[in-house]
Each structure stands twice: as C-alpha cells, then as structure tokens.
A and B are shown apart, each in its own frame.
Chain A
Amino acid sequence: MATRSAQYGSAEGAGQDAQASVHEASPEAVVVRFAGDSGDGMQLTGGQFTLSTALAGNDLATFPDFPAEIRAPQGTLFGVSAFQINFGSSEITTAGDAPDVLVAMNPAALKTNVQALKPGGLVIADTGEFTRRNLEKARYEASPLDDGSLARWDVLAFDISALTLEAVKPFGLGNKEALRCKNMWTLGLALWMFDRDRQPLVDWLNAKFAKSPVLAQANIAALNAGHAYGETAELAGPLRKLHVDPVASEPGLYRTITGAEAVSLGLVAGAQLANLPMFFGGYPITPASAILHNLVKMKEFGVTTFQAEDEIAAICAAIGASYAGQLGVTSSSGPGIALKGEAMGLAIMTELPLVIVNSQRGGPSTGLPTKTEQSDLYQAIYGRNGDAPLPVIAARSPADAFECAIEACRIAVAYMTPVILLTDGYIGNASEPWKVPDPASFTPFPVAFLDESNNPGGKVLPYKRDARGVRPWIKAGTPGLMHRIGGIEKAIDTGNIDYAPDVHQAQTDARKARIDGLAHDVPPQDVALGEARGRLAVLGWGSTFGPIHQAVRRARRRGLDVSHVHVRHVWPLPANLGELLGGFEHVLVPEMNTGQFKTVLRDQFLIDAVPLAKTSGQPFAIAEIEAAIASFFNGVTGNEGGEVAVNDTQLPAPEIEHP
C-alpha cells in the first residue's frame, strides 16, 4: 500500500496544462469511477453520487458502463459494472478521459479498470473481497495490493466489507443483506471526500425503504460510517478531502437528465405542440426500453403505449395509429431497426408521419448490447429497399435529445414523413444537468387535418401535394373523405394503384424532392467553436460532441487554427454545410464507426473528409481527438509536443480479457 499523499483532480477545459492542475488543492474537475460486481449496486451508487454532485452545483457528465448479463457470475471479469462521473467548476461535456479516483469493490473491478487510472491517481479497494477465490476469478496470481504492481498509484485498501458489517450490526440483518449496504458505506466515503451534504441521500433512503425502515436505518448507518471513516483516515492515509467549486451556470431551475428521459419528454412535448395524441409502439430491447418505461408513466398527456409482440408489430401499429390521426412513434436499437425497415418503407410510400428513435449500440447483429457506437448511420440514411429517403436527426447529448425529439415530431407532421432520431447507448444512459425549459417558450406546430374534400365536385385527392410536395393528412373516420392507401406505387393526386413508368419516375422524384427540400427548412449549420473558415474543421455528429468540443478547445488554447462543427440534421444535410466546409483546408470526422458520415460527406460535397474511427464500444477520449487534431499541425508553431502519439493507457477503458 502506498503512503504518499494523494493529489487528484484535473481541469477538463485547461488544455495541456491539465497535468499541472493535478497538483492543485481545489481542482477544476475530478473524474471518479465506481467499479464492482454487477450485483454490488454500482449504478445506483453512481446515480446517487451524481445527484449529490448536481446539488452541490458542479457541472457534470456521467458514463455508466455495465455488462450485458443481468447477473453475471460473481467476481468475474465480465461481471464488472462501472459508473464514471466527471464533475467540476467549469463546463463539463464528457465523462472524462482517465479517472482520478477508482473505487474497486473486488479484484475483478480493480483488474478491469485500474489501467485507465491516471498515474498518481487514487485506488480505494475493499480488502474484504480480495480473497484467494476472488483473486483467482480475476486471474490474479498474487494480490495486487501486496505485490507492488500498483506502485504507479496511491492505494487505500481496507476491509469495507467488515466495516460495513460492523456499522449495520445493531440492525440484525443477515450477512447477505448487511453486505448489500457496502455501496452506501462507499458512497458515504465519497461524499466526505468531495465535501457533500449527506441529507439528500438520507431522505432518499428513507423514501426508498419506506416499507422496511430497518433497511433504511441500516443503509443510513453505513453511509454515516463511511463518511466518518473518511475523517479518521485523513489523519493517517492518502485520503484527502477535496472541494470542487460550483460551476457558474445560467440562473434557473435545473435537474439531471438522461438521454432516454430527454427523448421521452421531448416526444411528449412534441406531440403536445402538434396538438396530437401520441401512440408509442415498442418492443423490449437494450438500451431503448427505457423510453417505453418512461412513456408508460406519462399517459395523462394523451400517450398510448403498446408493447407489441415484436419490433415489426411495434412500428406497424404506430403507422396504423398515424393513419387514424395520432402521432405514431416507435423506438429500438440497431437489430430492431433492421426489422422495422420494410414498414419504414411503407410509411415513406404512403407518406404518413412517424418518429423512429434508434438508441444505437455496438453491432453488427447482437453485437455489444450495452456498449455505445454510432454505426447505424448508413442504416438510418440508406437502409431500406428502393429509393426511400427520410430525414435523420442526431442528438449530441442527453439534454440535446429533448430538443431533437421535438424537432423530429415537427418534421414528421410538417412533411408527412417518417423521421429517424439517432441517439446511442452513451446518450441514453448518461446524465447531465439540464436547465428545465419553460413550455411557453416552445413554438407550437398544430396539425390541420383535411376535413373536407380538396377536390370540389370530385373525389378527395389524398396525394395532392402542396408547394413543398406535402400531401394532406386525412384521419380515417373523416366523413366523405374515404380513400385507400398502400405500398404499391400510386397515381399522382388520386393515390390509386398505378405503376406506369412515368408515374413511378414522377413519384420517386417527388418523394426525393420533398425530403431534399427540408434542407432549407432547418437552421443553417453553425460553428460550435472557432471560426467559420481556417485550416481544420473537426466535424462531428451525435454523442461525440463532448470529446470533440474539449479537444478543439484545448487545441485552440495552444493557438491552433481549428474549429468544431457539429451536425444535428444528418439527412438531409443543412443547405449551407457544403459551403461552410469548403472554407476549411481540412475536415476531420471523428466517429464511433468505421467512417460512415465521412463517406456521406465525401459523396455529398466531394471533399477529402478524413476519418477518425473508433469502434471499441467506448466513447472517444479527449486525448484521442486532440492527437488527431495535432497531426494536422505538424511543424506548426504552437504544436510542439502535439505530435506525440496519444498515451493508450489513459483511454477510458482498457480491453477486458474475457476468460
């Protein structure tokens, strides 16, 4: 066990001087990772720590990282569940590259996470779990706490299990139940370390265990014991109390929000703004199920939820509801979206509004159900039979997903089209503080159904297009406007079956022109950071926003001529995007796939977009993007040292060697 005094913390936005700030007493930002067995309650611990962090006024970003197995065998490397939080007194946009503090509840958690820890970082380990059997399960030959292999870090190892058992002894719990309080003990210690108020946690525990007060008391006792331990340990060991100043935020009401919550709220708000009831068809799939879980609780907003027999039925029912005049919505992840492809084609062909949310995960096939990736972009833009264009929107963060969901609803009803909203596992599960918007500030877009014939003296023309190429929406059940729709090519205006060559040509053109035209109805592409022209644009979409933004910020502090452009409307692309990118000598496109958006950009604008691809199931580290940026400035004054390759040991998660 090391006995050096630990100094942890960093400044996310502080550029290369981040290393220097590690030694500051009151750091700008700190990254903490809780890791344990999937049964240890690490996600819950992380969630509550997040809440206390938000209440302390810090900006924050989190990254829950858990295994696909519900209850993986105890103590195994693949059963490790982790929760990382980055919090600070300046703007935080990523969950942080390398943790400053690692809480490892067992040998497997230590093994799979310690390589990510910053040199000099602090390891807190529960020796009670470092038994021979657990060491064997984690494939350690000797205890890493004793063999000097952790010399790069400060280690604080003590028997959390025994301390917890001692603390909860008065409550007479069984051994198994008593040990379940370990996570609260650990949380208590963490609250002490970061100078946090325990009261909100006490309130939460009392509410959670309202039906069994003994459990509430035991958990509170464990929480208090962990907190008290911090005070004692400070005198003797490497543990030190840190205070992170509150971030200066815009005044207003705040809450934390995950992407899945934001999408759910945004869909409800979108349907309200459209003045429509919402029909949500879903089928359980990780990580998209959370949206269905949330919407079930919001039925007073005219929401009907339908748990269908499969992914296909979920989207088909949503399309049926749209035909009957509701806003049809469905949601899934890659494999489910693949199954929905044919039905999306029908919604395109019949021109019915529909919102399809894809919480992307690693693929292909079942792939990495609980890990993140952006590899469904081709699927979203191109993945249907026939020429089947539809708008695609990508959320950049949990909070942004709210606005994106509203935007998806707006486009769907305004253009009578299915719209795909892309989020990913990272956005879906991660949380961040969110300034609660005032509903009065939203612009309504109420839908006007056709209620009398648009063809005086004749039969209604369900496919008569307006100037934007949009057909009227006719609710089944409207008197006098009976008509038939379907997936077979249709005649102009009447919609009767007609697959004459010139008709198919004209309708294909019309479907394309209508979606292309949307490019002029979305806000022009802006620059998220930097100038609108220059040497390098780092162009991103979706959840890469955080790491790109910080990497560009750091590079700019070093004087490099680099800008950050982040695209929300990935199809059709904003009308000015080509011209904007033309103002840069180079365009770098970091993506959590093999370079899909890069290919789209090359195709649309004939530019030499350079990919930065990552498909490890983990988000980008800032350092990775920073290194890629630096490579465009080799030999440029100010980039000295920037040409050094990224240090792989500081990426968020090392490879887990599965047995």
Chain B
Amino acid sequence: MNDMTPIQTTLKDWETDQEVRWCPGCGDYAILKAVQRTLPMVGADPKNTVFVSGIGCSSRFPYYIESYGFHTIHGRAPAFATGIKLANPELDVWLVTGDGDGMSIGGNHTMHILRRNLDCQIMLFNNEIYGLTKGQYSPTSRVGTPSPTSPIGSVDRPALPCAFALGAGARFVARGYDVSKDLPEVLIAAYRHKGAAFIEIFQNCIVYNKDRFDDFTAKAVASDNQIMCKDGEPLLFAKETKGLSLDLETLSLKVVDVVDGNWQAAGVAVHNPRNRGLAHMLVEMPFGAFPMALGVIYDDPAPTFESAVVAERATLIAGKTPDLGKLLSKGQTWTVAAPSDKHGLMD
C-alpha cells in the first residue's frame, strides 16, 4: 500500500463492463466481491491500482476490476509486478495467482518476490486443483486426490503455501476463504502492511474439487474447526471452549480445553503476529488434530525492495550529473588532429 489521500469510491466504481466468466457457484465470485468491497474501504485509487495475474481461472481476475490490469503468462506475475513497482513505486500492486500458477510453475518467482519484500498484495487462490485445464491434481492437492492424471489418487505430497511463504522470508502471511465474512478484514490488513503481503485464500472449485474445504468452512463445523488469529487475543476456538497452548516439553502447540472461559488457567497462548516461530507453528498445524488457522497469522514489516532500490540508486548517483557526452568519452581517449599533426593523449 501507499500513503495517499484516501479516494472516495464505491463497490460499483470497481466493476468493469466485462461479463464475468467463471463457472456458476465458483468461489472466485465471492473473492471478487470481497476485493471490490475492500478497495473503497481502504481508499484505494483506481488510477494508481494495478492488478497483475498469471494464468489460470483466478488469473482472469484483472479483467473484472476497473483499474489498471495485466493478465500475463503462467507463473510469472511476480516478475511483472516487480518491474511495474520498480518503475513506479507510487502504484498499488495486487497479484492474483493460484496454487498451480504460484506454487508450481511460478514457485520460483513467488519465493523471490517474498524474500525481496516487494510492496504488494499477493492473493493465492488455493483450490487444490488445476481448474482451467480440467481437473488435474495440483501441488497443493492432498495425497490421494483422484483426477484425470491420478486415476487412483495423487501420490505426491502437497506443498503448504503459507509455510512456503514464511520459509521464503515473507513478512506478512494470512489465510482466508472465499465466502468468509472475515475476508475483507484480512485484505485490509494485507493492504495496510508495507511490503509483500501473502494471503492464501481457500477457494471452492465447484466443478473439479467441490466442497474440498467443507470440513472447516461448512456452517455446522466452522466454529469447531477453524481458529481466527487476532493480534493480542487468545487463540480460542470451538466457541471459546478450546484453545491453543504451547507445550513446553515438546515446544509445539497443543489443543487444550477451556473451562468456564478461563483461558488463562488453561494456558492458552495470546496471538502475536510479530512472533515468527508462532506463525510457523500455526500454519503447519496438522488439520484434524488441530483447527485450521485463519486470519492474520504473521505481520512484521521490514524494509521493502523498491525502497531499497531507490536508496541504492540515490547512493550510486550521489554527486553525479548525467552528461552523455562525458559518458561516451570516458576512460583513456586520444585525439586525432588535422593530418600531419601528432596524436596526443588526452587523459
């Protein structure tokens, strides 16, 4: 994000005249609306906003946002975003990617944009499947996912996007899901974070991986199986009857029962998004034994890449004036005078 005078816009201002072409019921619709709802809330300016995407269902996103937009090539959106932001640090850059685009073909670029800490928002729509190419298993598919290329179930172990992001040096890691009412709140936090903000958004692929995330998003189980991480608040879930506590013997998290709301007595940990170790534990908790950690898991700003590039430049050019003639004649030169004259050494 950038410190700019907030611009007054409404959700309507962020809609384009293009017909949205996702499958009916796709989770992408909900994410699009959440983003269009968020942008007015943070005072974003359409002319200074650029949505950059790779290839995949999610990557059609820029066509539906009334701002600048660049639908690029598979996996490379982080590289385009880097060029855009370095060329004009005033621009607010959002990346839209997916589990195939960002974790598979573009994994390398995802790693590097995070370690460099380019100021941008990276929304990784994780549906655990290749949708646009008709349903092959993806790098985040769970072992045993049946698909056209894995008829008896996939055999590769999946990647954990948030763990990957932390490993790459991300300074902001958050999680949400398509129809979550909390998604705009997570997006606002990402926008306010100066630096690369990584948001994994679980997204329901209605056609190829339907209801994949029901075990923690369905109304009946949501409360029991998800935990919303909030700065300074105890890590409670299941209607505050359970919490996460640090097991000092194994240095790992454990689920504890909370009796009569006395979470202190149960030893429930308080969420601190500046605690990197805690963030690692939260994103790697095995689901089932633990709830799914959502919300802003890690948020600890560090200097951004584009500001470092600007500063480096300023140091390098300090005291120099651009003089093309001088540049061209740099180094050892000699003059050839009119015929019969001697050659002379200039400098």
Give me the interface of A with B, judged by CB distance under 8 Å: 51, 54-57, 200, 246, 248-256, 265, 268-269, 272, 277, 279, 281, 296-302, 304, 306, 308-310, 312-314, 316-326, 328, 342-343, 346, 350, 436-439, 459, 475-488, 496-497
Q: What is the bound-complex CA distance between A482 and B336, given in angstroms?
A: 55
Q: Are A57 and B71 in contact (CB under 8 A)?
A: no
Nearest 4 Cβ contacts at the A-B interface: A320-B83, A486-B71, A317-B83, A316-B79
Q: 0/1 per residue, B320-338, Cβ < 8 Å to A?
A: 1110110111111111111
Q: Are A482 and B66 in contact (CB under 8 A)?
A: yes
- B201 to chain A minimum Cβ distance, whole angstroms, is 21
* 15 residue pairs bridging A and B, Cβ less than 8 Å apart: A249-B336, A251-B339, A277-B87, A281-B83, A297-B316, A304-B87, A304-B309, A304-B313, A319-B80, A320-B70, A320-B79, A439-B324, A439-B328, A478-B47, A482-B68
Is B67 an interface residue when CB atoms closer than 8 A count as contact?
Answer: yes
What residue in chain B is nearest A459 (Cβ atoms)?
B17
Known A-B contacts A300-B322, A316-B76; A254 and B335 likewise in contact (beta carbons under 8 Å): yes
Q: What is the bound-complex CA distance between A480 and B66, given in angstroms?
A: 10
Q: What is the bound-complex CA distance between A481 and B69, given in angstroms?
A: 11
Contact of A56 among B18, B332, B343 (CB under 8 A): B343
Q: Are B313 and A325 in contact (CB under 8 A)?
A: no
Q: Which residues of B contact A486 (CB under 8 A)?
A: 62-63, 69-72
Contact of A310 among B108, B331, B337 (CB under 8 A): B108
Is B81 an interface residue when CB atoms closer than 8 A count as contact?
Answer: yes
Q: Are A301 and B87 in contact (CB under 8 A)?
A: no
Chain A contact residues: helix, strand, loop or mixed: mixed
Is B190 an interface residue when CB atoms closer than 8 A count as contact?
Answer: no
Q: Which residues of B contact A482 (CB under 8 A)?
A: 46-47, 66-69
Q: Are B317 and A299 in contact (CB under 8 A)?
A: yes
Q: Which residues of B contact A250 (CB under 8 A)?
A: 336
Q: Are A321 and B83 in contact (CB under 8 A)?
A: yes
Is B145 an interface residue when CB atoms closer than 8 A count as contact?
Answer: no
Q: What is the bound-complex CA distance between A302 and B329, given in angstroms?
A: 19
Known A-B contacts A255-B332, A301-B324, A484-B70; A343 and B76 likewise in contact (beta carbons under 8 Å): yes
- A428 to chain B minimum Cβ distance, whole angstroms, is 17
Contact of B112 among A251, A256, A309, A475 (CB under 8 A): A309
- A497 to chain B minimum Cβ distance, whole angstroms, is 7
Contact of A317 among B86, B90, B313 (CB under 8 A): B86
Q: Are B334 and A324 in contact (CB under 8 A)?
A: no
Q: Which residues of A contact B71 (CB under 8 A)?
A: 484-488
Q: Are A251 and B338 in contact (CB under 8 A)?
A: yes
Q: Are B324 and A252 in contact (CB under 8 A)?
A: no
Q: Are B67 and A436 in contact (CB under 8 A)?
A: no
- A357 to chain B minimum Cβ distance, whole angstroms, is 17
Residues 251-283 (chain B) with a chain A CB within 8 angstroms: none
Q: Are A323 and B80 in contact (CB under 8 A)?
A: yes
Q: Are B87 and A279 in contact (CB under 8 A)?
A: yes
Q: What is the bound-complex CA distance between A246 and B327, given in angstroms?
A: 26
Q: What is the bound-complex CA distance between A405 and B50, given in angstroms?
A: 31
Q: Are A476 and B324 in contact (CB under 8 A)?
A: no
Q: Are A299 and B313 in contact (CB under 8 A)?
A: yes
Number of residue pairs across A and B with beta carbons under 8 Å?
Answer: 206
Q: Are A324 and B87 in contact (CB under 8 A)?
A: yes
Is B52 an interface residue when CB atoms closer than 8 A count as contact?
Answer: yes
Q: Are A299 and B87 in contact (CB under 8 A)?
A: no
What residue in chain B is nearest A349 (Cβ atoms)?
B73
Q: What is the bound-complex CA distance between A323 and B18, given in angstroms?
A: 21
Q: Which residues of A contact B90 (CB under 8 A)?
A: 477
Q: What is the bound-complex CA distance between A298 and B91, given in angstroms?
A: 25
Q: Are B91 and A438 in contact (CB under 8 A)?
A: no
Q: Are B46 and A484 in contact (CB under 8 A)?
A: no
Known A-B contacts A313-B112, A324-B91, A477-B88; A484 and B324 likewise in contact (beta carbons under 8 Å): no
Q: What is the bound-complex CA distance between A477 and B343, given in angstroms?
A: 53
Contact of B335 among A252, A300, A346 (CB under 8 A): A252
What residue in chain B is nearest A308 (Cβ atoms)?
B79
What residue in chain A is nearest B341 (Cβ atoms)?
A251
Q: Which residues of B contact A313 (CB under 8 A)?
A: 76, 78-79, 82, 108-109, 112
Contact of B86 among A302, A306, A481, A488 (CB under 8 A): A306
Is B346 an interface residue when CB atoms closer than 8 A count as contact?
Answer: yes
Is B48 an interface residue when CB atoms closer than 8 A count as contact?
Answer: yes
- B14 to chain A minimum Cβ distance, whole angstroms, is 10
Q: Are A479 and B332 in contact (CB under 8 A)?
A: no
- B149 to chain A minimum Cβ distance, whole angstroms, is 23
Bin chain B's interface residue count.
Answer: 35 or more
Contact of B50 among A255, A346, A476 (CB under 8 A): A476
Question: Knowing that A300-B317, A308-B79 are A-B contacts, what are 10 other residue pairs whose CB atoms are under 8 Å apart, sorted by A's residue number?
Answer: A55-B343, A279-B83, A279-B86, A281-B83, A309-B112, A313-B82, A320-B52, A320-B81, A320-B87, A484-B71
- A402 to chain B minimum Cβ distance, whole angstroms, is 8
Contact of B322 among A253, A302, A487 (CB under 8 A): A302
What residue in chain B is nearest A350 (Cβ atoms)?
B70
Q: What is the bound-complex CA distance between A482 and B65, given in angstroms?
A: 10
Q: What is the bound-complex CA distance between A312 and B47, given in angstroms?
A: 28
Interface centre among A51, A268, A319, A323, by most chain B C-beta atoms within 10 angstroms, is A323
Q: Are B316 and A299 in contact (CB under 8 A)?
A: yes
Is B42 an interface residue when CB atoms closer than 8 A count as contact?
Answer: no
Q: What is the bound-complex CA distance between A140 and B324, given in angstroms?
A: 53
Is B150 an interface residue when CB atoms closer than 8 A count as contact?
Answer: no
Is B16 an interface residue when CB atoms closer than 8 A count as contact?
Answer: yes
- A314 to chain B minimum Cβ distance, whole angstroms, is 8
Is B84 an interface residue when CB atoms closer than 8 A count as contact?
Answer: yes
What residue in chain A is nearest B111 (Cβ atoms)?
A309
Is B152 an interface residue when CB atoms closer than 8 A count as contact?
Answer: no
Q: Are A254 and B333 in contact (CB under 8 A)?
A: yes
Q: What is the bound-complex CA distance between A486 and B69, given in angstroms?
A: 8
Is B220 an interface residue when CB atoms closer than 8 A count as contact?
Answer: no
Q: Which residues of B contact A318 (CB under 8 A)?
A: 83
Q: Which residues of B contact A268 (CB under 8 A)?
A: 324, 327
Q: Which residues of A contact B68 (CB under 8 A)?
A: 476-477, 482-484
Residues 167-226 (chain B) with a chain A CB within 8 angstroms: none
Q: Which residues of A contact B329 (CB under 8 A)?
A: 253, 255, 436
Q: Are A316 and B72 in contact (CB under 8 A)?
A: yes
Q: What is the bound-complex CA distance between A521 and B93, given in angstroms?
A: 38
Q: Which residues of A contact B67 (CB under 8 A)?
A: 482
Is B345 an interface residue when CB atoms closer than 8 A count as contact?
Answer: yes
Q: Are A342 and B73 in contact (CB under 8 A)?
A: yes
Q: Are B328 and A265 in contact (CB under 8 A)?
A: yes
Q: Which residues of A contact B88 (CB under 8 A)?
A: 324-325, 475-477
Q: Are A328 and B83 in contact (CB under 8 A)?
A: yes
Q: What is the bound-complex CA distance between A321 and B85, given in angstroms?
A: 8
Q: What is the bound-complex CA distance between A296 and B336, given in angstroms?
A: 31
Q: Are A325 and B87 in contact (CB under 8 A)?
A: yes
Q: Are B336 and A343 in contact (CB under 8 A)?
A: no
Contact of B83 among A246, A324, A479 (CB under 8 A): A324
Q: Which residues of A contact B346 (CB under 8 A)?
A: 253
- B32 to chain A minimum Cβ distance, whole angstroms, is 14
Q: Which residues of B contact A316 (CB under 8 A)?
A: 72-73, 76, 79-80, 83
Q: Which residues of B contact A322 (CB under 8 A)?
A: 83
- B33 to chain A minimum Cβ distance, whole angstroms, is 18
Q: What is the bound-complex CA distance between A299 and B309, given in angstroms?
A: 11
Q: Which residues of A contact B66 (CB under 8 A)?
A: 482
Q: Are A477 and B47 in contact (CB under 8 A)?
A: yes
Q: What is the bound-complex CA distance between A320 and B87, given in angstroms?
A: 8
Contact of B69 among A249, A279, A485 (CB under 8 A): A485
Q: What is the bound-complex CA distance between A154 and B68, given in angstroms?
A: 72
Q: 0/1 per residue, B80-118, Cβ < 8 Å to A?
A: 111111111011000000000000000011011000000
Q: 0/1 per residue, B296-331, Cβ < 8 Å to A?
A: 000000000000010001001100111011011111
Q: Which residues of A contact B108 (CB under 8 A)?
A: 309-310, 313
- A274 to chain B minimum Cβ distance, whole angstroms, is 13
- A650 to chain B minimum Cβ distance, whole angstroms, is 32
Known A-B contacts A301-B322, A486-B72; A320 and B317 likewise in contact (beta carbons under 8 Å): no
Q: Are B332 and A321 in contact (CB under 8 A)?
A: no
Q: Which residues of A contact B337 (CB under 8 A)?
A: 251
Q: Are B73 and A487 in contact (CB under 8 A)?
A: yes
